[in-house]
Amino acid sequence: MNKNLTSHRPGLAVILKISAIFLFTIMSAIIKATSDAVPPGEAVFFRSFFAIPVILVWLALRGQLRNGLLTRNPAGHFWRGILGTTGMGLTFAGLGLLPLPEVTAIGYATPIFTVILAALLLGERIRMIRITAVLLGLIGVLIMLWPRLGSGAVQDGATLGAMLVLGATVTRAFVQIHIRKMVQTENTAAIVFYFSATASLISLMTMPFGWTFPAPDVAILLILAGLIGGVAQILVTSSYRFGPASMLAPYDYSSMIFAILVGYVWFSELPTVIMLTGAALVIAGNILVIWREHQLGLKRGKARSVTDPKS
């Protein structure tokens, strides 16, 4: 491989990462805008299936269309597909019930749950700094969920939406743990491609549960969501070729700025003080985790490069 393609170029890495996060936010907004017209399973199909051509073109341009898709672990891709599709479906369902900034904020808890699962499933040791990070993050999640636990919230579906997004967050943490194992034998290209392929097939199984024939304008938006999702995945994957994960991780939180702006302009949504307070605690916990991993020299870059804010 050309060394220039893997050089340390932090400026380019940051631009690619922020661009990807912006596109993921737009994709989420499109899914939210079409949530009244199509069920979550159908939205998952469009997002996954129409990302495949974009990914294939990217692999062809990189010369990885043949060797890059070879796999030693088909079962691993299957389970990554099950977990990722479940997380995506739960997120899409939650987008129809909650404001975009709130869905984004709850999703920030994924690294916190990943730390917990890494300790339980991988036997990773958690010392005081990461224990503090987990506690901060969990307190932040509770603060964000608290307004959704009242009787009025139950009636308008907000509690269900919050539980769906929280479930998606935990599921994405399982995905992170699973990918940490997969990257030991699998190419990034294979993980990216086979997830879109398996998610497309798995989502088809939800067809008997309320799929509709979308109106032309809705269909165009859903196809656009798939194309945007594919481009965003490529950008976030490419960003880790030019900068380390520890440097790029904090830029994930630019998604809150984008979510607030898009939510206000598109849906007339504004974040509450309680939501922002909880999000700030979760972000603080995540930054502690990022700092601690950097101190320990843990190499998460390759694993991060094949995951995204929306699985």
DSSP 71-100: -S-HHHHHHHHHHHHHHHHHHHHHHTTS-H
Residue 90 pLDDT: 97
And the tokens for 252?
Answer: 């994930």
What CA–CA distance (Å, rounded) separates 165 from 169? 6
Contact 18, 249 (CB under 8 A): no
What CA–CA distance (Å, rounded) separates 186 from 45? 24
The tens digit of pLDDT for each residue in 191-204 reads 889 999 999 999 99
Residue 6 pLDDT: 56
Per-residue pLDDT of the chain (311 residues; tens, 9 = 90+): 344 445 678 888 899 999 999 999 999 999 999 999 999 999 999 999 999 999 999 989 888 887 888 888 899 999 999 999 999 999 999 999 999 999 999 999 998 898 888 888 877 777 888 888 889 999 999 999 888 876 555 556 888 999 999 999 999 999 988 888 888 888 888 888 999 999 999 999 999 998 999 999 999 999 999 999 999 999 988 888 887 776 788 888 999 999 999 999 999 998 999 999 999 999 998 888 877 776 666 555 566 666 655 65
Residue 114 pLDDT: 87
Residue 309 pLDDT: 57
Q: Can you tell me which residue has the tokens 């199909």?
A: 45
Question: Which burial class, exposed, middle or buried, applies to 250 when counting CB atoms under 10 A from its CB (0-12, 13-18, 19+)?
Answer: middle
At 230, which amino acid appears? G
Give the rounded distance of the alpha carbon of 64 from its chain centre: 24
What CA–CA distance (Å, rounded) separates 157 from 274? 19
Query: In the Cβ-directed half-sphere of 96, how many Cα atoms lie within 13 Å?
Result: 17
Residue 210's region, left for phi above 0, alpha for psi from -120 to 50, else beta, is left
Residue 4 pLDDT: 43
Q: Which of 84, 80, 100, 81 is nearest to 26 (CA)?
A: 100
Give, rounded to a whole angstrom, the gap between the first and last alpha carbons of the chain: 28
What CA–CA distance (Å, rounded) separates 91 from 89? 5
Q: What is the CA radius of gyration of the chain?
A: 19
Residue 63 pLDDT: 84
Residue 2 pLDDT: 42
Residue 311 pLDDT: 57
And the tokens for 249?
Answer: 């991780």
The tens digit of pLDDT for each residue in 91-149 reads 999 999 999 999 999 999 998 898 888 888 877 777 888 888 889 999 999 999 888 87
What CA–CA distance (Å, rounded) separates 237 from 170? 22
